[in-house]
Structure 1
């Protein structure tokens, strides 16, 4: 059987970076929309746009010959999905919209780096995912950059908008780590359910609290931003989790604030302050440290049985009764294996370290 050999950076890193670019662009665009719509209602529109758009993708795939080969959600996945919707789909976007309404788009975009830090710390401290010194130093550089944005007249403080954004990042950090439990299932199906459930909830709550119906062009613009900046971004993020693990996907996702800040400065003509430039420099160093990490050692794979989309490679050497197309998904068993190669804590490398 021919095994495929790919770089440990592919496809996880491009997926995580693509997710970051789309999400980063959504922050300043949402800031622009906030001038015409209630923050809570906008959070609902963004997620409904993601959910409806992905529902169309989910429905159209078989009609255009794209057979769905991903593993569908199962009953044990439902509690994790409910928690993901609560933290990442309802609480976090509400807090982000409140924060964006009280601070500048460029500062808000860079403060979103705290999501990557929260994601990594929870993965490290709670889920015991391996995080080495290089990743920690990179995280410290990102934290220093975010802290510099909090200085105002020589006093260290966060304005109310920054505090709301920090809370949103904590909720997303929890969401990202819980999503790891679902990373082997169909990401389009998961993101679709999350978008529809979270979006509907936020829209209903916003109207209950007296939000006015915005112009149809604002609704359409919000839906498009939500589809790409939340829906497609979330699908790519989940695929990144599958290949990189939670901490590293969160680290690569730290590019998102740079994209948002760049759009805020160039499109919305926000003046780049000295603190913004220093923060961007420090965060750039942190991102480079994350991108240049190489993790390689002798490791042993214990017997494992699970169901996910895969191609036959060094970790999938099982046989089939008949011909199969690649990639494909089915329940399969991994036999014990010991080898050495560059890897991340993906679906097959969640081993401990001494």
Structure 2
């Protein structure tokens, strides 16, 4: 008996995961801003990601120990996943954070937080035009509103300081993360903790190695600890939530929900750093809010066909998972094992998740 309602549950879980990812990452921006003056950008990027990687590694090892001999909730990374993960790590884990922290040296944290909405736009554009995810007019208009808000903030900085190098660096960071998001989508069916842990350890090691090679002066241990905790929450746990959202919503939709992150960062920046935004900031915030609303209220439903496929991920036996087992199953769900999907044609509300990569 199929249970299509479990698919709707997956959509709702995806939205929750995406918003949690947004809140965690958005909150990290003002805390990272407070550390910029104490640590060189490359070194700080390394500390943020190493804190993420080490924290998640500890969780991963404890979880593995507690599950010894038991079932796992997620499939581990395979050989074909590593090229995608490697590209995502270099773009989003090495280049992106450095560009962001360079941008933060000359850009107010509240404006920088709103500029980070450009990540969602660039993520969607790559997903639509390179990776061929579906989009409609409503989503496109929302994207234009978010772009307009980013341009307004950049223009405001240009009028005050000349060419807005800080804003351009932050936009560059957003492009790196957009590439990262689309490449990570390719491995989102695998263990989210393992993915985020590996990205943190590799990106942290590379950035710290670069910092050591150029003779960076290292801060106090309290600063290192603060950076590590900020990285674990804003980069590590946020990325775990983001990967889980990718699994349910696809890249462009997850990026749209993630656009809520800068508003969290902006609110904390105003309260924590005492910044006083002008009218342009509030106009930009309104434009971005309207754009995000259009994304969040989108609905997509039509008859579509699933082609036969084989893959491995945590799943329930819902309308999309009506397969037999070649092992003794105790009925526990979700459970993880390699499984086969027969060709299926039906209609229901859906996003371009790991099961809905069809043409329109």
Q: TM range, normalised to the smaller chain?
A: over 0.9
1:162 aligns with 2:164: no
Residue 310 of structure 2 corresponds to 305
Q: Give 1:1-354 correspondences, 5 Å limit.
A: 1=1, 3=3, 5-6=5-6, 7=8, 9-65=11-67, 68-152=72-156, 159-320=164-325, 321-322=327-328, 323-353=330-360
Aligned counterparts of 1:183 and 1:140: Cα–Cα separation in 2: 28
Aligned-partner SS, 1:293: coil
Shift of 1:64: 4.0
Contact in 2 for aligned 1:99/1:163 (Cα 8 Å): yes
Shift of 1:207: 1.7
Aligned counterparts of 2:349 and 2:190: Cα–Cα separation in 1: 25
Contact in 1 for aligned 2:157/2:164 (Cα 8 Å): no
Aligned-partner SS, 2:217: coil
Aligned counterparts of 2:266 and 2:355: Cα–Cα separation in 1: 36
RMSD: 1.6
Aligned-partner SS, 1:306: strand
Contact in 2 for aligned 1:61/1:67 (Cα 8 Å): no
Name the CA shift for 1:2/1:295 in 2 (closer, same or farther; >3 Å).
closer
- Where does the alignment leave 5 or more consecutive residues of structure 2 unmatched? none
Aligned counterparts of 1:349 and 1:43: Cα–Cα separation in 2: 35
Aligned counterparts of 2:185 and 2:158: Cα–Cα separation in 1: 40
Aligned counterparts of 2:157 and 2:315: Cα–Cα separation in 1: 54
Aligned counterparts of 1:216 and 1:139: Cα–Cα separation in 2: 42
Name the CA shift for 1:220/1:107 in 2 (closer, same or farther; >3 Å).
same
Contact in 2 for aligned 1:183/1:239 (Cα 8 Å): yes
Runs ≥4 in structure 1, deviation > 6 angstroms? none
Aligned counterparts of 1:154 and 1:106: Cα–Cα separation in 2: 16
Aligned counterparts of 2:344 and 2:247: Cα–Cα separation in 1: 20
Kindly tell me the number of residue pairs found equivalent between the two proteins: 353
Contact in 2 for aligned 1:85/1:198 (Cα 8 Å): yes
Shift of 1:187: 1.0
Shift of 1:199: 0.2
Shift of 1:123: 0.5
Aligned counterparts of 2:243 and 2:163: Cα–Cα separation in 1: 31
Contact in 2 for aligned 1:61/1:68 (Cα 8 Å): no
Aligned counterparts of 2:241 and 2:264: Cα–Cα separation in 1: 17
Shift of 1:227: 0.3
Aligned counterparts of 1:233 and 1:153: Cα–Cα separation in 2: 29
Aligned-partner SS, 2:60: helix
Aligned counterparts of 1:154 and 1:31: Cα–Cα separation in 2: 20
Shift of 1:154: 8.8
Aligned counterparts of 2:230 and 2:313: Cα–Cα separation in 1: 30
Stretch of structure 1 that moved more, 54-63 or 16-25: 54-63
Shift of 1:103: 1.1
- Where does the alignment leave 5 or more consecutive residues of structure 1 unmatched? none
Aligned counterparts of 2:238 and 2:46: Cα–Cα separation in 1: 17
Contact in 1 for aligned 2:308/2:343 (Cα 8 Å): yes
